[in-house]
Amino acid sequence: MDRNKIEIDGVSSQLAGLGSKFPRSTRKTATRSGIIFPHSLLNIPMSYYQRHVFFCVNQREAGAVCCNNYGAQAMRDYAKERIKALRLDSKNKRVRINNAGCLDRCNEGPVIVVYPEDVWYTYVDQEDIDEIIEEHLKNGRVVERLKI
């Protein structure tokens, strides 16, 4: 197999030199049709984990807008359990779920961010978390409807 080629929908593309044609910010989220290109194919160093997810679980004083007003800690705990049950956890260096303090997008919350793609999501319930896990974390497809 040629490491410099990728096939999408039956179309083979040469990737050699592709990385230098995109601005740096684009290379971090290089997608076409929702498919995320592995950074290794774009000559970008791989991160330690395949995907690293930060849940803002910040709790402010009563009345102030914050992610934990929407159950962020419980959703983070749920995501961690699901990732482990699906055997996608960090023992296999695949998906790491971490708590985060305020990520400074409080009015769009609750928020999570997924690296290395630098994709930000909001969510309402466990169904949204399940969709992010299944689509993005497991299969590498960005969930456009939840992106912020």
Does 119 engage in binding with ligand FES (CB under 6 A)?
no
Residue 7 backbone dihedrals phi, psi, to 5 degrees: -115, 125
Tell me whether residue 15 or residue 106 sits nearer to ligand FES (CB atom).
106
Minimum gap (Å) between residue 43 Cβ and ligand FES: 33
Q: How many CB atoms lie within 10 A of CB 103?
A: 18
Does 52 engage in binding with ligand FES (CB under 6 A)?
no
Does 114 engage in binding with ligand FES (CB under 6 A)?
no
Does 112 engage in binding with ligand FES (CB under 6 A)?
no
CB 97 within 8 A of CB 83: yes
Does 42 engage in binding with ligand FES (CB under 6 A)?
no
Tell me whether residue 30 or residue 119 sits nearer to ligand FES (CB atom).
119
Task: Give dist(CA 102, CA 12) in Å, integer.
Answer: 42
Task: Give dist(CA 3, CA 141) in Å, integer.
Answer: 21
Indicate which single residue of 28, 47, 102, 130 sits in contact with ligand FES (rule: CB under 6 A). 102
CB 40 within 8 A of CB 47: no
Task: Give dist(CA 28, CA 30) in Å, integer.
Answer: 6
Indicate which single residue of 83, 95, 103, 137 sits in contact with ligand FES (rule: CB under 6 A). 103
Chain residues binding ligand FES by CB under 6 A are 56, 58, 66-67, 102-106, 109, 111
